[in-house]
Amino acid sequence: MAAIELEGVTKRFGDVLAVDSLDLTVDDGEIFGFLGPNGAGKSTTIDILLDFVRPTAGTATVLGHDAQTDGRAVRRRTGVLPDGYHVYDRLTGRHHLEFAREIKGVEADIEGVLERVRIADAADRKAGGYSKGMRQRLVLAMALIGDPDLLVLDEPSTGLDPNGAREMREILREENARGTTVFFSSHVMEQVEAVCDRVAIIDRGRLVAVDTIDGLRDASETGETLYVYVSTLDDEIVADVAALDGVGSASIEDGRLRVTADDVSKFAVLHAIDTDVTAVQDFSVVESSLEDLFVRYTNERQEVDA
């Protein structure tokens, strides 16, 4: 069964088309990253899943329930970390979790959850005195109450230090191992790359890619970057390399030639550089990071639209 199914979801705010005919399926048990530049429509989509916002057109089905007609059933089984959630300054961390337990009407091991997000020591302090990262941990703790079947997290790493970000990843993996589907938006590509089974990239409300990270690499011309060490390097050599068959781009980076290959193998490119341009002394191949892929997919869309 699909945990999330969006069909033709569109949302307009006046003149702004925030989400544009979005079709997306997230399978049960996946850790799914939802990426896009600022203003792409991520939060709006998440709000539609939780029925905080009504779509202008289309349907959203979450855990088998229509998100609009059966929002309560969805929220009962879903842990949510909303974008920019404000904690209640005068309530303690523990009170927040008791509140989450009551709202959801579930049994919950509050002590255990406090330990997991590492705010047990501060549980009886008022949340108004918490640091940004502690607040984020508290909101995550509220999402974990009731062992949800689905976690929907909008920018969960906001405010977390590197240790906090690592702990967040571990919690997501643990929840997933328990059978929970995890759907989260993020601008922190390392975080996404480290935990996600699949990602979707949206740009200006439209889906531009959905795949595993390896799949995105395979589909992208810049799946791999070649760094070539040559004895002399100047603009003329770069231009000659760029003009070779199968070369996507060539530039100088840190005293090396940086080359991307289009449809031919990197060895064919290396051979052509060596025989037709200049002697190759050494080379290395680096897989594109998710950040490279993100930039490529979102820039491509801008070029298409231009």
Closer to ligand ATP by Cβ: residue 41 or 156:
41
Coil, strand or helix: which one is 202?
strand
Cα separation, 9 vs 150, whole angstroms? 20
CB 228 within 8 A of CB 256: yes
* Closest approach of ligand ATP to the CB of residue 47, in Å: 8
Indicate the residue type of 212.
Answer: T
Q: Distance of alpha carbon 288 from its chain centroid, rounded?
A: 16
* Closest approach of ligand ATP to the CB of residue 133, in Å: 19
Closer to ligand ATP by Cβ: residue 83 or 224:
83
Q: What residues make contact with ligand ATP under the rule CB under 6 A?
A: 13, 16, 18, 36, 38-44
Coil, strand or helix: which one is 123?
coil
Closer to ligand ATP by Cβ: residue 34 or 283:
34
* Closest approach of ligand ATP to the CB of residue 189, in Å: 13
* Closest approach of ligand ATP to the CB of residue 203, in Å: 9
* Closest approach of ligand ATP to the CB of residue 186, in Å: 9
* Closest approach of ligand ATP to the CB of residue 150, in Å: 19
* Closest approach of ligand ATP to the CB of residue 207, in Å: 13
Closer to ligand ATP by Cβ: residue 38 or 232:
38
C-alpha distances in angstroms, 274 versus 236, 254, 268, 271? Answer: 15, 20, 10, 5
Closer to ligand ATP by Cβ: residue 40 or 127:
40
Closer to ligand ATP by Cβ: residue 55 or 93:
55
Copy the structure tokens of residue 254.
């840190």
Q: Distance of alpha carbon 57 from its chain centroid, rounded?
A: 25
CB 209 within 8 A of CB 219: yes
Among the listed residues 57, 44, 51, 46, the one whose alpha carbon sits nearest the alpha carbon of residue 18: 44
Cα separation, 228 vs 284, whole angstroms? 7
Closer to ligand ATP by Cβ: residue 36 or 164:
36
CB 198 within 8 A of CB 211: yes
